[in-house]
Structure 1
Amino acid sequence: MIRPDAPPPARFNAARHCLAENARLRPDKTALIMAGAEDGAFHLTFAEADRAVRGIAAGLLALGLRRGDRVMIRMGNEADYVLVYFGALAAGLVALPSSPQLTPAEAAFLMENSGAAVVVTGAGHRLDPAEAEGRIVLGPSEIAAMKRADPVADYADTAADDPATLVYTSGTTSRPKGVLHAHRAIWGRRPMHAHWLGLTEADVMLHAGTMNWTYTLGVGITDPWACGATSVLYDGPRDPAVWPALIARHGATLFAAVPSLYRQILKYADLSAHDLSRLRHGCTAGEALPAELLDAWTAATGKPLYEALGMSEVSTYVSSGPTIPVKPGSPGKPQPGRRVAILPVDGPDEPLPEGETGLLAIHRTEPGLMLGYWNRPEEEAAVLRGEWFAGGDLASLDGDGYLWFHGRNDDLMNALGYRVSPNEVEGVVGGHPAVAEVGVTELAVRPDLKVIAAFVVLKPGEEADGPSILAWCAERLAGYKCPREVRFLDALPRTANGKVQRKRLADQPVAA
């Protein structure tokens, strides 16, 4: 038995780790179920997944791609998203998951910034070859042909530190930044299997997220496959009432979602109408879990709800779970084997004592830690503190080792579990013809829910037209980045040096 915190092997391929042994030991076991709103569903066994992934790997290499080339995936929630993702890793290429919500301009930025060699599109997400600017564009028919063609005999012989995945997240500038992960990142997820998810070969994991999100790719697919468990994803209408029905229909033993979805399920679904007896517990991440929501879910279902805290750069490394009792209001403890500390915001890189608030940091030997930011050395340098990586979260550790989250040390916002830079949103709102100045921040609309709000100073003679500004944003930003509210001010609050004070925006009187 290999300890969960053991270092990864020197030669390690993430796709092989998730599929090769499963195809050998349990070839006919269901690996993936793509569920719809009705009873019908698409099933894929481990043998079929392994064969399809190696076929896609062969097809990608036949295009002349070289080790480390980027493969951008622009698809919706469909089985081929998973297969292309692992196919790229199996070939020694770098997978770049992207959201189907991205506007053409946002997708073009990712293509250009990443230097993607290939863009794979799915049903309903076709890409005009002219927009691809000379890149190879593959659609459903090309991927289907690859799956049927001769596969590679084996997965690429990659090192644990070789690049595997490039995901884009908000940075401190107006453009997203790429977070580059190695194959070892999947090995680095091992502590969460026992200590957050309680995941075993016998489990059926239902995840409520979309595949482009690292939360879904990790917890919904990678983790179950790494343990030989079955993954269930959903590709139907986003009705909160559907989730208890899916849990019952597919015998889900684990369910993963963001806290706001658990709240919607309690509000709109009839839990008593479905057999949830096989469900052991729920898992949640992406947003803070309010204590009252935890109590309400437990009272309604009799099932525990386990929270985790993580980030794109290192995944989840603090959690409650089967081995870590829940302490309401805290996301839990650092998982066994994780080296976590609280560092001073300014000053030496020496961990602070319990109870003091500082920057949450994880040791740079952590196998799940990113390789670095894609072509952004200045941002990379800003988060490295000696032996530690400190991503900007403010936290403290209590006497029992539980972590308490105290917000961000910067202005990054959390929109439905996605980190969003106010600079990016301000750049779009500021382009509206009526806008002279804008500041963007989160706005609390109730104790457990914050939305993105734009605070606008109009050009002389312009009329306050919030719907026009929201429509402008909807054409230029992915839905989760768009402001939900626009307020008009006579002036933005600024420091003596002229910098907008985003934390004071919500307190300003609206324009007369």
Structure 2
Amino acid sequence: MTSPAFPPCPSNFNLTAHVLGQADARPDKIALAVVKPTGAERWSYARLKSAVLGCATGLLQSGLQPGDRLLMRVGNTVDFPVAYLAAIAVGIVPIPTSTQLTEAEVQVLIDITAPAAVLHDGQTDCPPGVRLIRTQDTHEWYGLPPAAYDPGDPNRLAYIIFTSGTSGTPRAVCHAHRAIWARGMMMDGWYGLHEDDRLMHAGAFNWTYTLGTGLLDPWTKGATALIPAQGVEHHQLPLLLKRHEATIFAAAPGVYRNVLKSSSIDLPKLRHGLSAGEKLPASIRDAWQNATGTRLFEAFGMSECSTFISTNPKSPEVAPQSLGWPQPGRRVTILDDSGPVDSGHPGIIAIHKSDPGLMLGYLNDQIATEHRYQGDWFLTGDMGHMTPQGDIHYHGRADDMMNAGGYRVSPIEVETALLAHPDIAEVGVTDIEIKQDIRVIAAFYVADRPLDEDALKNWASNRLARYKQPRLFRRIAALPRNANGKLLRKTLPDVDAL
């Protein structure tokens, strides 16, 4: 499916210059507030731009050159976006990393990317033997004369992020400067974002969802970004959302689930919420609307490509398994081994290779890069089908698809049915081998008390075809998730050995 055209990225382009393009027109407006119950750290657009370009000067004076790579070991502080944008402004390639990584895990990333230096906050784990630039030293650079932007081909490398992919092996995903231009398709296609909005994102800066949706996009639009300070708990978010008059809230489904446990949610300024990171359960979507009177709009994307399918404030209500529609300017299709399929037929969700938000490729891994393409289409690795109305229903990761008695079954479909049970708070399903060559569907659920297995099977029998029904139910304390909150279905059997 091809949606209406989107203007091409300018031929002489710099990501940071684009993000800070509104700064001169609104120097005194608050660009960023890092908030906590006891107060907030506020940055005006003028202060933000001065710090970014001063830091860029400092990076160059430290001996780094355009094309060098800068691995970032920085927590959820303002140091992160300032250094990130400063590096890109002058052609240095930043590499954000999760603060939860151990020394050994960071060493793997260093071996893959060979950075010229590591930006370190003095707290996160970092292996020895690498050149360090301390964030406490970069603070002195904020007052240096501003560096000049390094413009050029929008297809040149801007930054690198890591994804584990389906193999569990970290892969360095290379993104171009044009990636930020592609995010313009989200402004109406997902956000409904305006310059007078105050958008709060509950996530770590190093996560691309937070970095893009929570910071770069509001700044591109001239809006205000609100970020909870490091250490803020989910139950404190309703207070911060109300106190700082957030108009849009963005988070992963798990955060919404935790916020909904609050005894009172009063958000008079909130227009709507945004969800991404994993499939949004209908139960959370409905509970949020009942608690706040506002809708949640979901988006689908990945490390290799910014979100490109979504619902938005102008879209109608969709079925629980629907991700929404391709955003304006996106070319999306569903593929099987022979090519695009008709509506209603399942296959791999794919996006055209011309999409400006698509990665340049995996660093030093041409074979893995080529493996992700089928002709002119980039394969997301996620299953779905397109309806006659053009929206896309999600079936789950291709590697998460279950095989029960020879039938291919979507875990999302089974989980959606089980989440309708009033006593099930969370659930994850996968297929397990109970005998050689015999696999059955098992459901792992979180509940306040053990539930009768026969009653659960009866519940499933009234909502799912026989081959889709779980044969085993196990109550567990919590679902296994990665650092960004995504459900790790393949590890479910290890949580509670059967």
The answer to whether TM tops 0.5 is: yes
Contact 1:343–1:360 (Cα < 8 Å) also in 2: yes
User: Which residue number corresponds to residue 170 of structure 1?
Assistant: 164
Identity %: 40
SS at match of 1:268: coil
Q: Alignment partner of 2:278: what SS? A: coil
* Residues 306 and 326, structure 1, Cα contact 8 Å, conserved in 2: no
Match of 1:446 in 2: 445
- For residue 210 of structure 1, what is the amino acid of its counterpart? A
Name the counterpart of 2:175: 181
Are positions 1:51 and 2:50 aligned together? yes
More displaced stretch, 21-30 vs 364-373: 21-30
CA distance in 2, matches of 1:99, 1:269: 32
Deviation at 1:259, TM superposition (A): 1.1
Conserved? CA contact 2:189–2:312, under 8 Å: yes
Distance in 2, matches of 1:32 and 1:291, equals: 32
Q: CA deviation at 1:292?
A: 2.0
Q: 1:504 to 1:291 in 2, by over 3 A?
A: closer
Change beyond 3 A, Cα 1:243–1:483:
closer
Work out which of the residue numbers 237, 252, 257 in structure 2 matches 1:258: 252
Contact 2:23 2:222 in 1 (8 A): no
Structure-2 residue corresponding to 1:9: 10
Shift of 1:361: 0.5
- 1:267 matched to which residue of 2? 261
**Could you tell me which amino acid in structure 2 is paired with residue 359 of structure 1?**
I
Residue 315 of structure 1 pairs with residue 310 of structure 2? no
How many angstroms apart in 1 are the aligned matches of 2:158 and 2:343?
Answer: 37
Structure 1's unaligned 5+ residue stretches are 414-441, 449-473, 486-501
> Could you give the per-residue CA deviations for residues 65-113 of structure 1, whole angstroms, max 9, x where no partner exists?
2222111111111001010010011111111111110011111111221
CA distance in 1, matches of 2:487, 2:295: 34
Q: Whole-Å Cα distance in 2 between the matches of residues 77 and 343 of structure 1?
A: 39
Counterpart selection for 1:331 from 323, 330, 339:
323
CA distance in 1, matches of 2:495, 2:366: 36
Opposite residue 343 of structure 1, the aligned amino acid is L
In structure 2, the CA distance between the partners of 1:507 and 1:92, relative to structure 1 (3 Å rule), is: closer
Offset at residue 219 of structure 1 (A): 0.2
Unaligned runs of 5+ residues in structure 2 are 403-440, 448-479
Partner of 1:92: 91
The alignment of Structure 1 onto Structure 2 pairs a total of residues equal to 424
What amino acid is the match of 1:234?
P
Confirm or deny that 1:248 pairs with 2:242: yes
State the alpha-carbon separation in 1 of the partners of residues 290 and 184 from structure 2.
31
> Could you tell me which residue of structure 1 aligns to residue 352 of structure 2?
363
- Partner deviation per Cα, 1:206-241 (whole Å, 9 max, x = no partner): 000100100000100011011001101111434222
1:227-285 CA deviation, whole Å, 9 max, x = no partner?
001101111434222111111111111000011211111113421xx4x1111000000
Q: Secondary structure at the match of 2:260?
A: helix
Q: 1:28 is matched by which residue type in structure 2?
A: D
Quickly say closer, same or farther: Cα 1:99–1:443, change in 2 above 3 A: farther
SS of the aligned residue for 1:24 comes to coil
Map 1:394-473; keep pairs closer than 5 Å. 394-410=383-399, 444-446=443-445
Q: CA deviation at 1:172?
A: 4.3
Partners in 2 of 1:483 and 1:203 — Cα distance? 31
- Shift of residue 157, structure 1, vs aligned partner: 1.7
Match of 1:31, as an amino acid?
A
Alpha-carbon spacing, 1:445–1:117, altered in 2? closer, same or farther (3 Å): same
Shift of the 230–352 alpha-carbon distance from structure 1 to 2, 3 Å rule, reads same
Q: Is the counterpart of residue 306 in structure 1 residue 297 in structure 2?
A: yes
Partner Cα distance (2:324, 2:487) in 1: 31
- Alignment partner of 1:150 is 2:145: yes
- What is the rounded CA distance, in whole Å, between the counterparts of 1:84 and 1:282 in structure 2? 28
TM-score (norm 1): 0.78
- Are the structure 2 counterparts of residues 84 and 398 from structure 1 closer, same or farther at C-alpha, using a change threshold of 3 Å? same
Residues 221 and 231 in structure 1, CA contact (< 8 A), matched pair in contact too: yes
Aligned Cα RMSD in Å? 2.8
Partner of 2:218: 224
Q: 1:506 deviation in Å?
A: 8.0
Instruction: Tell me how far apart the structure 2 counterparts of residues 105 and 280 of structure 1 sit (CA, whole Å).
Output: 43
The aligned runs of 1:348-387 (5 Å cut-off) are 350-387=339-376
Amino acid at match of 1:306: F
Q: 1:407-430 CA deviation, whole Å, 9 max, x = no partner?
A: 1222599xxxxxxxxxxxxxxxxx
1:64-103 equivalent positions in 2, closer than 5 A: 64-103=63-102
